[in-house]
Structure 1
Amino acid sequence: MTSTERFSFSGPINYNVSDDTLGAAPLVEIPFVEGTEQASLEFNVGASTIALDSVPSTQLFKASTPNANVGLKLENTGDSLSPHLELTSVIKHNNNQQNKIQLALHASPLWNLIINMGASKFVADFSKHKIEYLEINAGAASLDMTFGMPQTQESILEINTAASNCTINIPKDAACKLEMESILTSKKFDGFHKKEDAQQTDNFDTAEKKYIIKITGAANSLKINRY
């Protein structure tokens, strides 16, 4: 998927899902098809606790919830080798203490992801995944994401939040540039130095593959750990 083909989200930051339960299920999944090199996912979720990691090799994507308060709807508008998935959560009662969703993605494809969430907690381990583009639009959220070495010339992580806490974990050898249009109440960027209007690691200009992190919003706390 090229940058001109990317889907994007222009709605409100605080995402609320429909209460239409028709077709919602506690478990949805898509099998992995050999030869799939790219995949995209748009995930629309209300206030929930969300965890993401990798999935067994027989499945491209899997999502589940352990309680009856949440249902999941999944559509695939792409083809077998270039799936374009849209996952929507249906929350029956406004009680985010019980709204838990587990996501898992196959590690082989190059992923383009958009996640639109309400006041949620999102813990994601992307360390085994190839991420070309990740966009998060969130309200008062708590984000903790771990990434491996970048797998593309520019792996873009775009985070649009309000009143949120965000922790990003990247390898100490990963080249990275941080662009901010955000009012930060607290920040910690060890290993970065300022260049023009951005913060970047010492190896950013010479690295063949790199992360570009874009932060927008207000009253955010941002921490970048290099492990």
Structure 2
Amino acid sequence: MRQAVDSVFKGLFLILLGLVFLANMYGFLPWDFWSNVVDLWPLLLIFAGVALLLNKRIPFSSILIVFLLALVGYSFVQSSPSLTSKLPQGKVSGGQFIEISAPLEENVKKAELILNLGGVTMDVQGIEGESQSDQVVNGSYTWRGRMGSGQPEFSHKTSGDTTRVQFNSEKRTGSGESKIQLNLSDQVLYNRVNLNSGAVSGTMDFSRLRIEDLEINSGASDIQLRFGDTGVTTKVELSTGATELDLVVPENIGLKINISGIASETNFAGDGLILSSEDWVTPNYNDAKTKIEMDISMVAGKVNLERLTVPGDSTEDTQSRQTKTW
């Protein structure tokens, strides 16, 4: 009898789990719904304790069902009012667009940017805060062709001195092309920038932005990353498939790069970087005011590194500062 009851609850749990995934795919629940596990995991301990008090007469699958229902309820209670359905949107030739905008509140000093995208062309740049002092981010998302599973999702939420901005279009675009264009304020410290995408191309210009952690997970990529002398240490984790990566970094920035991959082109032959253990390091790394630590993992591809001349640099041979190929 107990085994039959347990089988029923296991079946109910799988059905409920499937319904939740369908709700994610069709836009009834946001994909960041699963992040609520971090907030509610102590409930599992409570439910498990109740089961022990009842002499284990409650199947564990029933505990999971109650926990999943609690996640759903919590998600609706905590859902942000800033959804794309309330954002300005319209049509372009052969497609649609959504405007993205999040205010820069007076007490905000830090920001997090989370992008969950399908295949996309990117145009990201920093903007001088004085020119758009009331915005932490603004831009647009454009797609051509049909939308596969409802509208993309955009939310922003401020807690203390930090604004968390998130945009989700993963598994929502059908056939066609999509492009995201973002302008990011230079008045905040970005303690986290996270991009999860399919095939991605374009430029991400962070030269004006102070970023502590940058994580990019993508499929086949053809992207340019630009960095500037911002006075902070930036840790970069890049995990991609077949990739053509252009890095543009000023010469006065301390740079440490580790590259791994099954078939990556890593035949570094340029001057200015020294192989130390498994890392390529610039001689000025320890003394540099701005540092970038990069961990690059790719299935196949190459990395082109361009070291920009700093204005006023007395180095004579400017011709030697050309693109270096890994």
Same fold (TM over 0.5): yes
Partner residue in 1 for 2:252: 173
Q: Is the Cα–Cα contact under 8 Å of residues 118 and 173 in structure 2 kept in the other structure?
A: no
- Which one of the candidate residues 58, 62, 84 is aligned to 2:134? 58
Give 3-state SS (helix, strand or coil) of 2:208's partner: coil
AA partner of residue 222 (structure 2): S
TM-score by length of 1: 0.82
1:88 aligned onto 2:88: no
Partner residue in 2 for 1:38: 110
Give 3-state SS (helix, strand or coil) of 2:162's partner: coil
Structural mapping, 1:136-155, within 5 Å: 136-152=216-232, 154-155=233-234
Structural mapping, 1:67-82, within 5 Å: 67=143, 69=145, 71-79=151-159, 81-82=161-162
Give 3-state SS (helix, strand or coil) of 2:302's partner: strand
Structure 1: runs of 5+ lacking an equivalent: 1-17
Structure 2: runs of 5+ lacking an equivalent: 1-23, 29-82, 86-97, 309-326
1:103 aligned onto 2:186: no
The structure in which a higher percent of residues are helix is 2
Partner residue in 1 for 2:199: 119
Q: Is the Cα–Cα contact under 8 Å of residues 150 and 174 in structure 1 kept in the other structure?
A: no
- Which one of the candidate residues 232, 235, 240 is aligned to 1:161? 240
> For 1:175 and 1:40, how far apart are their aligned partners in 2?
24
* Larger mean Cα displacement after TM superposition, 71-80 or 211-220: 71-80
Give 3-state SS (helix, strand or coil) of 2:106's partner: coil
Aligned-pair distance for 1:20?
Answer: 3.2
AA partner of residue 20 (structure 1): Y
> For 2:99 and 2:214, how far apart are their aligned partners in 1?
24
Q: What do the CA deviations read for 1:55-99 (whole angstroms, capped 9, x no partner)? A: 422210123124465654212344262012221126442223xx1
Q: Is the Cα–Cα contact under 8 Å of residues 190 and 225 in structure 1 kept in the other structure?
A: no
AA partner of residue 221 (structure 2): A
Aligned pair count? 207
* Larger mean Cα displacement after TM superposition, 33-42 or 181-190: 181-190
> For 2:296 and 2:307, how far apart are their aligned partners in 1?
18
Q: 1:67 to 1:138 in 2, by over 3 A?
A: closer
Q: Is the Cα–Cα contact under 8 Å of residues 154 and 166 in structure 2 kept in the other structure?
A: yes
Q: Is the Cα–Cα contact under 8 Å of residues 141 and 179 in structure 2 kept in the other structure?
A: yes
AA partner of residue 188 (structure 2): P
Q: What do the CA deviations read for 1:102-157 (whole angstroms, capped 9, x no partner)? A: 111111111110000101113111111111110000000111111101432x3111
Q: What do the CA deviations read for 1:172-204 (whole angstroms, capped 9, x no partner)? A: 111111112224225555421111111011101
Partner residue in 2 for 1:225: 306
- Structure with higher Rg: it is 2
Aligned-residue RMSD, C-alpha: 2.2
Partner residue in 1 for 2:26: 20
TM-score by length of 2: 0.58
Q: Is the Cα–Cα contact under 8 Å of residues 167 and 224 in structure 1 kept in the other structure?
A: yes
Q: Is the Cα–Cα contact under 8 Å of residues 190 and 224 in structure 1 kept in the other structure?
A: no
> For 1:214 and 1:208, how far apart are their aligned partners in 2?
20
- Which one of the candidate residues 264, 271, 275 is aligned to 1:194? 275
Identity %: 23
The structure in which a higher percent of residues are strand is 1
